[in-house]
């Protein structure tokens, strides 16, 4: 009994989201958008480090009330830092998801166009291993880079 042979392909989505020009553009856009807040967090972290060092250096000569005041001040700044850091991560993840959703949508269109044009029966996104012979990732990246993933 003869078996029908189907044409199978594979695409590495992680590589597309890392190497395709639209994905890189999205990443740069996000980095620029969040650079100021990232710098603010770095400034606060440095302030906390200096406060900690100062408390350790002067602990012996500080009065109990001064030590308590500085610890309270340190804890207040640290709580604010933790809150800003948490908000930063949440906002960054949300923006990254928004930007990459558009890239992913165009990548899926490119995969569909290649699959239809080259008569693939199935294209897998996840595989433990795939032969380079069936990997169409480079073609998808090229289509995205050239803007050929139908709008």
Candidate CATH numbers 1.10.10.10, 3.40.980.10, 3.40.50.2000, 3.30.910.20; the one for domain 8-145: 3.30.910.20
Q: Please give the structure tokens belonging to residue 45.
A: 């972290």
Contact by Cβ (8 Å): 51, 73: yes
CA separation for the pair 93, 59 (Å, rounded)? 40
CA separation for the pair 111, 113 (Å, rounded)? 5
**How does pLDDT run across 30-85, given as a tens digit for each residue?**
999 999 999 999 999 999 999 999 999 998 898 999 999 999 999 999 999 999 99
Q: Supply the pLDDT for residue 147.
A: 86
CA separation for the pair 101, 94 (Å, rounded)? 11
For residue 118, give the nearest of 1, 7, 3, 2 by alpha carbon.
7
Other Cβ atoms less than 10 A from the Cβ of 76: the count is: 10
Chain-centroid distance, C-alpha 71: 36
- E-strand ranges in 11-95 read none
Q: Supply the pLDDT for residue 1.
A: 47
Residues 6+ apart with CB under 8 A from 130: 10, 124
pTM assigned to the model: 0.76
pLDDT at 4 over 80: no
């Amino acid at each position: 009994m003869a078996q029908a042979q189907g044409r199978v392909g594979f695409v590495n989505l992680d590589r597309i989201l890392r190497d395709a020009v639209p994905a890189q553009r999205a990443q740069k856009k996000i980095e620029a958008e969040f650079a100021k807040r990232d710098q603010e967090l770095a400034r606060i972290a440095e302030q906390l480090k200096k406060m900690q060092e100062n408390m350790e250096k002067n602990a012996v000569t500080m009065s109990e009330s001064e030590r308590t005041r500085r610890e309270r001040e340190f804890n207040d700044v640290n709580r604010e830092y933790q809150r800003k850091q948490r908000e930063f991560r949440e906002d960054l993840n949300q923006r990254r998801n928004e930007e990459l959703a558009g890239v992913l949508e165009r990548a899926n269109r490119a995969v569909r166009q290649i699959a239809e044009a080259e008569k693939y029966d199935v294209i897998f996104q996840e595989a433990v291993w795939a032969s380079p012979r069936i990997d169409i990732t480079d073609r998808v990246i090229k289509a995205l880079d050239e803007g050929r993933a139908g709008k």
